[in-house]
């Protein structure tokens, strides 16, 4: 995807985003949110009074919750390099900041036309991916791996690998859109 903005009726690409980095929420009870996230399948930990959840892909986090009234508080997009952040900072008149979140790195804080916070991050430290459980044998159109046998999944949360998509409710999609490259 490319981070884009509208300039005199045309869309101009600024940087190529590598992926969605994280979502940010506010909740009145971090313990209750932790229970929800862990039951969903995220690995949770606290850092500087905030609750973080990560998948198993090695990214420092995919979800962050801070104390407050229930609300969506923004999202993070992963840029390819610090140079990409410099480009955004120059274009939007903001500064590149050192990230004090798990994984460190750098970020630029932007706002979409509806006021949603969009942190563009780069150069975070990743860990090695966690081991995933063995594949459960399933039948497919081309292969019968469990002929005449049932599959019983062990009870428990799913095994979240990474954040795959984010859906935002915006006032004007044409103004807010992120163009595909």
Q: pLDDT by residue for the chain (181 residues), tens digit each?
A: 444 443 434 445 688 889 999 999 999 999 999 999 999 999 999 999 999 999 999 999 999 999 999 999 999 999 999 999 999 999 888 999 999 999 999 999 998 888 889 999 999 999 999 987 777 777 788 888 777 778 777 788 888 999 998 888 888 877 776 544 3
> What pLDDT is attached to residue 70?
97
Q: What whole-number distance in Å separates Cα of residue 7 and Cα of residue 126?
A: 36
Q: How far does CA 17 lie from the centroid of its chain?
A: 12
Helix (H) or strand (E) holding 99: none
Task: Note whether residue 118 is domain-resident.
Answer: yes
Largest Cα–Cα distance of the chain, in whole Å? 64
Task: Note whether residue 30 is domain-resident.
Answer: yes
- Here the CATH number for the domain that contains residue 22 is 3.10.180.10
> What pLDDT is attached to residue 29?
97
Task: Note whether residue 57 is domain-resident.
Answer: yes
> What pLDDT is attached to residue 96?
97
Task: Note whether residue 166 is domain-resident.
Answer: no
> What pLDDT is attached to residue 13?
62
Task: Note whether residue 25 is domain-resident.
Answer: yes
| Helix, strand, or coil (residue 141) | coil
Task: Note whether residue 171 is domain-resident.
Answer: no
CB 145 within 8 A of CB 109: no
Structural tokens at position 123: 């150069």
The alpha carbon dihedral of 35, 41, 42, 44 has a sign of positive
Task: Note whether residue 159 is domain-resident.
Answer: no
The alpha carbon dihedral of 16, 24, 116, 168 has a sign of positive
> What pLDDT is attached to residue 9?
44
pTM of the model as a whole: 0.83
Total domains in the chain come to 1
Q: Residue 167, exposed/middle/buried by CB under 10 A (0-12, 13-18, 19+)?
A: exposed
> What pLDDT is attached to residue 12?
53
> What pLDDT is attached to residue 131?
86
Task: Note whether residue 150 is domain-resident.
Answer: no
Q: What whole-number distance in Å separates Cα of residue 47 and Cα of residue 78?
A: 20
Q: What whole-number distance in Å separates Cα of residue 85 and Cα of residue 48?
A: 24
> What pLDDT is attached to residue 5?
41
Domain extent, residue 65, equals 2-125
């Amino acid at each position: 995807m490319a981070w884009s903005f509208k300039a005199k009726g045309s869309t101009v690409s600024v940087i190529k985003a590598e992926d969605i980095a994280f979502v940010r929420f506010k909740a009145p009870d971090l313990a209750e949110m932790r229970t929800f996230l862990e039951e969903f399948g995220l690995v949770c930990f606290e850092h500087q009074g905030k609750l973080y959840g990560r998948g198993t892909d090695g990214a420092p986090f995919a979800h962050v919750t801070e104390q407050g009234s229930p609300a969506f508080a923004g999202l993070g997009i992963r840029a390819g390099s610090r140079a990409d952040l410099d480009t955004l900072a120059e274009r939007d008149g903001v500064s590149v900041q050192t990230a004090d979140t798990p994984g460190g790195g750098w970020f630029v804080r932007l706002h979409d036309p509806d006021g949603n916070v969009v942190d563009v991050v780069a150069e975070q430290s990743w860990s090695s991916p966690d081991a995933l459980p063995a594949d459960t044998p399933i039948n497919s159109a081309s292969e019968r791996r469990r002929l005449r046998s049932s599959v019983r999944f062990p009870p428990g949360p799913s095994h979240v690998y990474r954040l795959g998509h984010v859906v935002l409710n915006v006032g004007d999609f044409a103004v807010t859109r992120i163009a595909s490259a």
